[in-house]
Structure formats: structure tokens, C-alpha cells
Structure 1
Amino acid sequence: MKEITPVIVAARRTPIGTAGLALRNVDTTGLAAPVLSALRAELDLESPDHVILGNCMGAGGNVARVSTLAAGFGVSVPALTLDLQCGSGLAAITTAAAFVRSGSSEVVLAGGVESASTAPWRMWPPANGREPQRYSRAPFAPADIGDPEMGAAADGVARRWGISRERQDAYAVRSHTRAAAARAAGRFDEELVPLPQLDRDERVRDHLRQSTLARLPSAFTTDGTVTAGNACGINDGAAAVAVVSEARRRADGIPGLACLDWETAGVDPNLPGVGPVPAIRELLRRNDITLADVGVIEVNEAFAAQVLACCDELGLHEERICVEGGALALGHPWGASGAVLAVRLYSQMVRQDGPELGLAAIAVGGGQGVAILVQRIG
């Protein structure tokens, strides 16, 4: 490994809450600052060179800067907030890796945060004497190209790739079953930063059955197969990792995940759920490997339909995805979810003496995908 190879050496996250429930009064600072503080304590870190956090729907301003100061870091620590929608948390980590690989930084804390519960209401300005109009999201793409809501887009993916309702429901049940088993076995314990309001993931259903999901109606289109049961929830949470140079990791004598390569790709905005496919393909091509070489694969489960379509396109068996449960069970706090994937890779590969290679990927509204390839070292 080169001295400036970026390496993840610590990874933590909050429990993920369901919007409006346990974390309903906890804002982005209240979620992100405890995670940053936990990384600081774990590494006995006086000060990072930079903090980078992804966020989609916060109150504006620089969420990362406010959270960095609230975590107790000095005023000299710069902080950056970025928005790549659902890919924000993973994009923050790849940006941190780029900082380290450039030689401009040696230690960067990076991740994401989302508090859907406390996100402010936003309004379009009044026009022609009308009242201001509330909107739930900014455009993902120009309307003439196609800018579907994510649920409707997932139904479009299901139709395009022929993903049946039964297959989607079965996948969702598997996610909950795996997450419940992992939680019972203590697989999440070391990565969690318990909060006063919540000490475990709120959405996981221990005994979910496919027959229960089969009773749910289509949630987004009249003839669709995507339901509230095979789609992710609306969630609150934060996650972050510490990215250091290989020289720093080796000097500290600790294991980690070397960030070998990363990619962001674009796809049709009308079918955003398959954004991970070209990003993953490019990583495999550049690094001359196949998915058979990768031991742990985390793909964000925004919708069962889009994960299954990605599997079909990549020739990847669906049971290899998120073997300890994914966002369908744990939840999808938009700006944090990509960072949650990195935390999950770290827990499975480093803390459990896992396989050599791991991969994480996430789809992005507007038709993009972000992916990262990591290697266990140390």
C-alpha cells in the first residue's frame, strides 16, 4: 500500500429511528455530534484535518461545521457539507478518501446525517398572487427528461426488469429476518452510538411474514407492486467513519479498510434505482476483479425492486446482498445511508475478521449511483 492510500480505521453510527417516533425531537446536530465524538474518543484523536458530512433535507447552512463544533472540536477544524441526495453519506467518504490520497489531509472524519423528523418546511415563492407552495423535495432532474417520485420510479424499475410483487416481499422479509438475527447476536453493538432517546434500530421487525406484506396495497401507483412493506421507511440517523493515510494507520498499528477505488455514474433519471450498476461495473473493470472476488456486498435497500433489478443486471445472487439486513429493515436516513453502508462493511470485515474485499453502493434520485471498493488490511 502507498503511504497516502486512504484507510477507514473506525466506523460508528446512531441507532436509526423512524421519523416522528423516538428521535422526532433530535436535529441533525444532535444526531451527528455524538457520532463524531465517539470516533474522537475511539481514536484518542485531538483534531482531524477536516470533517465532511452529507445531508439532504436539513435546515441549510453548514451542518458539518455546526456538528463539528458541537462535538467539541476546535474552531480551527474546517468542515464541509455536501448534497448528493441519497448518495451524500458515501460521497462524503469518497471525498475524504480523495483528500487523503491527494496528500492534503492525513485524518478526515466523514459520513452523513438526516433528521427527517426535524427537516424544515420549504416553500416555493408565491406567483401570480397565490399563496406560497410547500414542496417536499427539489427537482432531481428537468421535468422534460423525467423527474418521478422515488416510489413511482421504483414501480417503473419493477416493471422494466420484471420484478414480481412476491419476489419483492420475500426480499423485504429476508432483510428484516437477517437484521433481527444480527441484532440478537450483538453484531451491531460495537458500531452503535446509543442516544438518550434510542439505543437500538427502531424499524426492525423480528417476526415479519410474507403473508403479512402480501396484504398491503400498492403505495405509489395504482397498478404498482411497490408497497410500504417492500420499500424503506422515512428515517432519522447519522453515521461516520475516520479516514486516515496508510502511513498514519501503520504508525498506529491498527487494522482498517483501504479505500482502493470509488466511482459515481449516471443513468436514466426515470430509472434511478439501477444507478449502482454502472458504478459497480466500472470498479470491477478498473480493478480487474469480479463480484465472485468480493466477500461483503452492501447495496442500499431503498426498495426491494431496485436492489433486485441491480442483482439481475449484474448477475449477482440476491442473497449475497446485505447479509446482516439492510435499509428495508434498518431504515434509510437519506443523507446518512451511504455512510451506514460503510459502517456495515467495517463491522463485518474488520471487527469480525472478515474477507479481504468489500463493496458498497447506493442509488441516487435523478439517476446516479455511487460505489466504493475496500480491502481489509492490518
Structure 2
Amino acid sequence: MTNAVIVEAVRTPVGKRNGGLSGIHPADLSALVLNELVTRAGVSADAVDDVIWGCVGQVGEQGFDIARTAVLSAGWPETVPGVTVDRQCGSSQQSLNFAVASVMAGHYDVVVAGGVESMSRITMGLSGSVGGSPNGPKFQERYGVDPNQGIGAEMMAEKWGLSRTDVDTFAARSHERAAAAQDAGYFDGQIVAVPNADGTVTKDEGIRRGTTIEKLAGLKTVFKEDGVIHAGNASQISDGAAALLVMSEEAAEKHGLNPIARVHTAAVVGADPVMMLAAPIPATEKVLQRSGLSVSDIGVFEVNEAFAPVPLAWQKELGVADEVLNPNGGAIALGHPLGGSGARILTDLVHHMRRNNIRYGLQTMCEGGGQANATILELVK
């Protein structure tokens, strides 16, 4: 069985809601990163066996298998297929895991994994509301509620004893770290500029410099009057796309490419769909057990900041040091373009590992329905 390696990773800037990316059709946004990916790698598009693309709001402009539409919008040969994946917020991380499994099984030699979401153009939850609730009578009989992610975040804060100060401190830290990473130029090498009607978008738009705990303390909670969750300690509504080029080691050698990282181990779990957001904890435990590695072996962790209690509860359970958790900020500062977020984070992760010579990195994300993916990358020397 061959190893699957990542040879290139690229993303758009993350655009804020109704910001610089909002005027661009999500298929065209996807096409932009697809073309940049193969251009940077020096690989012809006709070498790609498949494009596996994450997208949550698969309706309207993001419907009808946007992966295939993106391929055609990119001007790639009609012989290149595409398939769209929905594992909610982890859709494009799942795309990578599917790509890796297919390469290791010998089904593909070269495959693109990634995803897109234009939340400015496709309202969050729209695809789940067309034609009635996705939670039918049997689901209601079993759980008695329609799960709400914000309430799930409040449940996590209560269960793990996280105060308003705890979550606001984490949120301020996310903006501070993202701003520092942007100023240091850490994102520049992974971003493709996006032209729009007003010029070009080259930087992530969501970072709020000077965010403090005191400023966040003035925001009203959204889901519970006496709760802790508000707009400032939750992920931002965003637009963006990202992609990774995955190959067998043999294909990378054939194309004269030096791999950045190999996918060491991947896992996915299901957990309580009502609390919904705690599954990264068992997902991390499972992927570590399967890999034979321990927490101390991992040099950097990325836990998606859907809401601040998610990484904070995860950190309490796993005992991970603060400095290796989301070192360049996360979705609270950078934004969370749902179906594109997994690939956005993976792109930052592989660039961070290469820049700092970190052998192992681990990424995990909470997902709608009470699920989570976890993936361990190993830097290729």
C-alpha cells in the first residue's frame, strides 16, 4: 500500500460577510484555487484523477455538484471529474481523508481535495430548510429537540466549567495570534490573491486588531441570557476556498515534486448530536490510539474555533500546552467558510509545519450532527 503525500496547498484569503469575496460566484472562487494549485505544483490539470470538494450549503449557486462545476469553470479538461462532500463543518477535511484513502487503495494517483463556502451568497442553513426539517419524526422521537450549535456551545461551557472570562480571553487571543501571523507574513505564501470589482483581496478580512477582553465583555450573549456565547467568541460568517494536491509517492516522484507532508493517520467519530460540538475530544483520542503516537509527540494542534468552548474543553481533556494550540489564530479571528474551512486549516497547518520543522501536526473539527474528523500529518524531510 502506497503512502499518500501532500505536495501543495493553497487558499484564498478568508472574506468577511458581504466583504471582498462576496461578489464572486463560489464555483469561480473554487476554480481560482484549483488553477493556482496546479500552477504552483507545475502539474497539468489532465493529470488529476478526481476533485473531491467540500461544501455545506449545496443549494442554488453551490448546488448541482459544485466540484464538477468548479473543474469546468477552471477550464480544465472535461475528462476531470468532481464530487462534492458534506460532513458539515469538516467537509473539506473529510475530502482530504477520502482522497488519501483512495490514493492508498490505488484508485487514484493524483487527486485534489478541498472545498468552498460563500456564506454571503448562500445563507447558512438554507440547504437544510428547503422542503422541511431534515430531522424527521424518528429523530424527534429519539432526541426530542432540533439541535442548535449555539446551545451546544453553551452546554459545553457548562460541562467543562468555562466562564465568560475564559471564552473571551481565548477569543482575544485568537485575534492577537492571527494578527501577529499576518504581520509576520506567515499567510502570504499560502494565499492566492482574489480579483474583484474593487481591486484585489490579498489578506484575511476578519481579523479585528486590538480586540480585548474588556471590549468583548460588552457584547450581549445570543443563545442564553445568562450564558457565555456571543458574536465575539464564535466563528465568523465568511467566504473562502482552499485546496490541497494529494499524490502517491510514486506519482510525486514521476512529476518531480517534493512532498510537504504525508497523511499519517485519519479517524472520524460520532457523538452526542444535541451537544454536537464535543466530538473532537474522542476523535483526537481515536486518531492518537490508531497512530501509536501520544499528545507529547505532536508539535502543533489545530482545533477549529467554531465556538471558544470547543478548543478550550478539548484542551482541558487532552492537556495540551497553550502555545501549540492554534498558534496562528483560528476561525474566531480568521473566519469559518464552512465547507472550505477544513482545507483552509490544513493549508495553514502544512505551511506552519514546514516553516517550523515540526514532524507531527494534528487537526480536528467539530461537525454538525455530533461528528468530528481528526487527521495527523507527518512532515516529509
After TM superposition, the score normalised by the length of structure 1 is 0.93
CA-atom RMSD, angstroms? 1.7
1:9 aligned residue: 7
Whether 1:364 aligns to 2:367 is yes
Whether 1:52 aligns to 2:52 is yes
2:92 alignment partner, SS class: helix
2:233 alignment partner, SS class: coil
Structure 2 vs 1, CA of residues 124 and 75 (structure 1 numbering), >3 Å: closer, same or farther? closer
1:8 alignment partner, SS class: strand
| Structure 2 unaligned regions, length at least 5 | none
Q: Which contiguous aligned blocks of 4+ residues in structure 1 show a shift greater than 3 angstroms? A: 120-125, 138-141
Structure 2 vs 1, CA of residues 124 and 6 (structure 1 numbering), >3 Å: closer, same or farther? closer
Is 266-275 or 249-258 further displaced after alignment? 249-258
Q: Distance in 2 between matches of 1:366 and 1:222?
A: 25
1:130 aligned residue: none
Structure 2 vs 1, CA of residues 37 and 167 (structure 1 numbering), >3 Å: closer, same or farther? same
Is 113-122 or 67-76 further displaced after alignment? 113-122
2:239 alignment partner, SS class: strand
- Code of the residue aligned with 1:20 in structure 2: it is N
Q: Of 27, 30, 37, which residue of structure 1 is paired with 2:28?
A: 30
2:51 alignment partner, SS class: strand
Is 366-375 or 318-327 further displaced after alignment? 318-327
Q: Distance in 1 between matches of 2:195 and 2:232?
A: 28
1:326 aligned residue: 330
Question: 2:364·2:372 contact (CA, 8 Å) conserved in 1?
Answer: yes
2:268 aligned residue: 264
Q: Of 228, 231, 238, which residue of structure 2 is paired with 1:228?
A: 231
Structure 2 vs 1, CA of residues 36 and 124 (structure 1 numbering), >3 Å: closer, same or farther? closer
Whether 1:178 aligns to 2:177 is yes
2:379 alignment partner, SS class: strand
Question: 1:88·1:336 contact (CA, 8 Å) conserved in 2?
Answer: yes
Residue 317 of structure 1 and its aligned partner are, at CA, apart by: 2.9
Whether 1:276 aligns to 2:280 is yes
1:20 aligned residue: 18
Residue 336 of structure 1 and its aligned partner are, at CA, apart by: 0.7
Question: 1:147·1:366 contact (CA, 8 Å) conserved in 2?
Answer: no
Q: Distance in 2 between matches of 1:246 and 1:162?
A: 46
| Structure 1 unaligned regions, length at least 5 | 126-132
2:245 aligned residue: 242
Residue 345 of structure 1 and its aligned partner are, at CA, apart by: 1.1
Whether 1:255 aligns to 2:254 is no
2:190 alignment partner, SS class: coil
- Code of the residue aligned with 2:191 in structure 1: it is L
Question: 1:15·1:199 contact (CA, 8 Å) conserved in 2?
Answer: yes
Counterparts in 2 of 1:204-219, with a 5 A limit?
A: 204-219=207-222
Residue 342 of structure 1 and its aligned partner are, at CA, apart by: 0.8
Whether 1:142 aligns to 2:145 is no
- Code of the residue aligned with 1:294 in structure 2: it is I
Whether 1:193 aligns to 2:192 is yes
After TM superposition, the score normalised by the length of structure 2 is 0.92
**Percent of matched pairs sharing the same residue:** 38
2:83 aligned residue: 80
Question: 1:273·1:307 contact (CA, 8 Å) conserved in 2?
Answer: no
Question: 2:277·2:367 contact (CA, 8 Å) conserved in 1?
Answer: yes
Is 111-120 or 161-170 further displaced after alignment? 111-120
1:196 alignment partner, SS class: strand
1:360 alignment partner, SS class: strand
- Deviations along 1:203-262, whole A, 9 cap, x unmatched? 001211111001111112222101111111111100110001112234424131101110
Is 77-86 or 220-229 further displaced after alignment? 220-229
Q: Distance in 1 between matches of 2:335 and 2:32?
A: 19
Q: Distance in 1 between matches of 2:302 and 2:42?
A: 29
Task: Kindly indicate which of the two structures has a greater share of residues assigned to helix.
Answer: 2
Structure 2 vs 1, CA of residues 45 and 139 (structure 1 numbering), >3 Å: closer, same or farther? farther
Structure 2 vs 1, CA of residues 28 and 139 (structure 1 numbering), >3 Å: closer, same or farther? farther
- Code of the residue aligned with 2:7 in structure 1: it is V
Q: Distance in 2 between matches of 1:302 and 1:276?
A: 11
- Deviations along 1:84-139, whole A, 9 cap, x unmatched? 110101000100001100111111011110011111656545xxxxxxx8x8xx54
Question: 2:270·2:372 contact (CA, 8 Å) conserved in 1?
Answer: yes
- Deviations along 1:131-184, whole A, 9 cap, x unmatched? xx8x8xx54993342432211111111111111110100111111001001001
Count of aligned pairs = 365
